[in-house]
Each structure stands twice: as structure tokens, then as C-alpha cells.
Structure 1
Amino acid sequence: MKIALIGYGKMGKEIEKIALNRGHEIVLKIDITNPEDLNLTNLKKADVAIEFTTPASATANYKLCFEAGIPVVSGTTGWLEKQAEVYQLCKDLNGTFFYTSNFSLGVNIFFALNKKLAELMANHPEYSVEMTEIHHTQKLDAPSGTAITLAEGIIENISTKKSWVNHTTGLADEIGIISEREGQVPGTHIINYDSEVDYIEITHCAKNRKGLAFGAVLAAEYSFGKKGILSMNDLLNL
């Protein structure tokens, strides 16, 4: 499979290693030094694109991939205010768009675990729920896309929770998400249910970027030859 890497930073380089080891070819690498190379002619040389850039450029990159007729795997976060627009554009242009807030297989299993725990806790209002997410200092968005997905999973299953806020909350219908940025932490997410007598806590802690890169390459392989909106739930049959 021929892959275009839109974004060739730390994640892009990790993806490249895994893709090459799995027998794929990298036909295009885009970073801040060669933005002019991101065009329809070059994209059409690829079978699929993997996009890890910034919220400011992501949606334009998706549109270009749809126009080129190749699937795009999105690893960028912080652009979700335009999600409905991107999904409609994908549909209008008969494109393929694979999006997840986190490509780690472990995190996606954690998403399912989070929903199940929320379902079990729904009838126990004596427990308050709060979340902490910790990432490296280079991460620009807060809370993380993963934290937002986790919060949405709780809201879906606990009817008294209506929204999330990016700070500690004292309101019963909100989920507080505390965002911390320190060192080179790849990503830690902690969900805590606390009562007067005990607490229940589940944690996912990434050790490095390899899990994210591996998941992104699996997503590219899965997207090849398909149409529409895809996710890790489709890939993992969750």
C-alpha cells in the first residue's frame, strides 16, 4: 500500500517505521518545510493518507484528500467544532474518513471499559465522577480528544450527567476534566468515582507513541477500499 504522511513530526516518523516494517511504501511526506507538495497531483499517487497536523490545517487537508479520491486517517485533535462539516463533505465527495480521538488499541478497549463502568455506576448517585488527563507540554489542546471521548461515554450512560467542563466542578450534572501538562508524558487518563466510604479508579497510561502509530497504520490498512465514515469501533468490532 502507498501511504502519504501529512505531518512528519514525531508521530509521523513513528508511523513511517511501522508502515515500512509492514511492507508499505511512503510516497509523500509533508511537514512545515514543504507545504507546497501537498496537492492533488501528489496525493493521487497514494492509496491512503495519514494526517497528524494541527487543528488550524486539518480540515483543509481532509478536503484535499477527499478531492484526490483517497481515504484519510485523521490523528489530529482539536478540530471537532467542524466535525459535522467534515462528515458532510466526506459524504458529498464520496470520500473515506477514519477518525478516532486515540489510535491506541488499549485506549479503545479502555473506552469500552469506561462505558461499562458508567453503566454500572448510573444507579449510585452517592459517587461523584471526575477525570484527570496528563500529557506532554507540547500538546496544544485541552482537554485531550481522548478525555472528551471518555466524558461523552459517561454522559451517554449516566442520565444525571449533561456536560463536561475543563476544571474541577461542584455541579452535579457536570463532569470535571482536569488537564495537566508536564514533561514528555505520552498520555495518561484517570477516571475516579469517589464517595464518602471509598473510591473506584480506572487508568490508562501510554508508555510511548508506538501504540498510537501502530493503530494509525492498522486504520490505514482498514480504510483502503472502503467508503464513508470509519472509526476504531469498526476496526476492532467493539
Structure 2
Amino acid sequence: MKILLIGYGKMGKTIEELALAKGHEIVGKLTHENAGQLSGFNSTNTDVAIEFTHPEAAFDNISYCLKNGIPVVSGSTGWQNRFAEASESCKENNGSFFYASNFSIGVNLFFHFNEYIASRMQQYPDYAVQIKEIHHLQKVDKPSGTAITAAEGILKSYPELNGWALEENATDEKLPIISERLENVIGTHVVRYATAIDEIELSHVAHSRTGFASGALMAAEWLPGRKGVFGMKDLLNL
């Protein structure tokens, strides 16, 4: 399979290593320095693109792929305010678009259990719910896309909450998310339900990027030939 890597940071390099080990071909490795070369790729020379870039670049990269017949897998976060536009572009171009805020199989099981626990805990209003996420210092967006996805899963069962907010901006009407940036932290997410008496926590702690990269590569192998917008629930049949 001919794979185009849009974004060649730590994640892109890990994906490349796994892809080459499985016999795939990397037809391009784009960074902000050679981003203009994207115009040289299309459905005739690329089977699938894997996109991990900054929030300000993600939408344009995804749009280019969809308009040029390249199935695209994206894990960029911080651009979700334009997700509906990307989905519409996918529909208009009969494209193939796979998006996940986190490609780790473990994290997506975490999302699945998070929704279930929220549906049960909502019956016990004495327990205040919050999310905490910790990432490395280089992570640009705050909160993480994974934390936002977890929040959305909780909010399905808490209609009395009017969305989420970073802790410093939170009110009683919003789900608080605590974001911390520390050295050498791959990614930690904790959902906590607390009273003065006790606490219940659901957590996921990543020990390496391999789980994220292998999930993204799995999605890239699965996507070609399918039309529409997909996510990890489709891939994992959750």
C-alpha cells in the first residue's frame, strides 16, 4: 500500500517504522517545510494519507485529500470546529475520511466504558464528575482531543451540564477539564466521580506512542474502498 505521511513528527516517524515493517511503501513525508509538495499527490500515486499536523493546517490537508480522491486518516486535534465542513466535503467528493482524536485501542475501550459509566453515575448526583488530562510539554492544544471526546461521552448522560470548560473557566453548569503539561508524559486521562465520602476513577495511561501509531496504521489499511466518514467505533465494531 502506498502511504503518504502528512506530518512527520514523532507520530509520523513511528507510523513509518511500523508501516515499513509490514511491507507498505511511504510515498511522501511532508512537514511544514515542504508542505507545498502536497499538490503532487493524488489518487494515482497514493492509496491513503495519514495526517498528524497542527490545528491550523489539518483542515486544509484533509480537504485537499478529499478533493483529490485520496482516502485520508487524520489524528490531528484542535481543529474540530471545522469537522462538519470536512464531513460535508467528504460527502460532496464521495470521499473516504477516518478521524479519531486518539487511535489507541485501549483509549477507545476507555471511551466505550466511559459512556457506560456516565450513564450509570448520572443517577447519583452527589458524585461530581471531572476530567483530568496530562501530556508532554510539546502538545499545542489544550485540552487534548481525547479529553474532549471523553467529555462528549459524559455529556450524553448529563443534559443538565452545558458543555465542558477548562477548570479555570468552569462553572457549576459545565463539565470541568483539568489540563497539565509535564516533561516526558505520553498521555494520561482520568475521569473522576467524587463525593466527600469517596471517589471512583476510570483512567488510561499510555506508556508509548506505539499504540497510537499502530491504531492509525490499522485504520489506514481498513479505509481504502470504503466511502464516508468513519471512526474507531467503526473499525473496532464498538
TM-score normalised by length of structure 1: 0.96
Q: CA deviation at 1:45?
A: 0.8
Contact 2:108 2:232 in 1 (8 A): yes
Q: Does 1:177 align with 2:177?
A: yes
CA distance in 1, matches of 2:128, 2:56: 35
Q: Does 1:65 align with 2:65?
A: yes
Aligned with 2:180: secondary structure?
strand
1:51 maps to 51
Matches within 5 A, 1:34-183: 34-41=34-41, 44-167=44-167, 171-183=171-183
CA distance in 1, matches of 2:223, 2:88: 18
CA distance in 2, matches of 1:30, 1:163: 36
**Letter paired with 1:22:** K
Q: CA deviation at 1:36?
A: 2.4
CA distance in 2, matches of 1:229, 1:149: 17
CA distance in 2, matches of 1:186, 1:143: 14
Contact 1:28 1:42 in 2 (8 A): no
Contact 1:28 1:43 in 2 (8 A): no
**Letter paired with 1:207:** H
2:237 maps to 237
Aligned with 1:101: secondary structure?
coil
Distance 1:28 1:130, change over 3 A: same
Q: CA deviation at 1:159?
A: 2.8
Q: CA deviation at 1:33?
A: 3.0
CA distance in 2, matches of 1:197, 1:190: 19
1:227 maps to 227
Distance 1:102 1:130, change over 3 A: same
**Letter paired with 1:95:** G
1:200 maps to 200
Give the total of aligned pairs: 238
CA distance in 2, matches of 1:203, 1:40: 43
Q: CA deviation at 1:52?
A: 0.5
After superposition, the CA RMSD in angstroms is: 1.4
Moved more, 59-68 or 100-109: 59-68
**Letter paired with 2:102:** N
CA distance in 2, matches of 1:144, 1:113: 19
**Letter paired with 2:123:** N
Contact 1:44 1:68 in 2 (8 A): no
CA distance in 1, matches of 2:97, 2:126: 41
**Letter paired with 1:145:** G
TM-score normalised by length of structure 2: 0.96
Q: CA deviation at 1:168?
A: 5.3
Distance 1:65 1:170, change over 3 A: closer
Contact 2:42 2:69 in 1 (8 A): no
Gaps of 5+ in 2: none
Sequence identity (%): 51
**Letter paired with 2:114:** N
Task: Write the deviation string for residues 179-216 of structure 1: whole angstroms up to 9, x where unpaired.
Answer: 00010211000111001211101110000111110000
CA distance in 2, matches of 1:149, 1:41: 31
Task: Write the deviation string for residues 51-79 of structure 1: whole angstroms up to 9, x where unpaired.
Answer: 01111111111111112201100010000
CA distance in 1, matches of 2:59, 2:202: 33
CA distance in 2, matches of 1:87, 1:16: 27
Aligned with 1:201: secondary structure?
strand
Q: CA deviation at 1:161?
A: 2.3
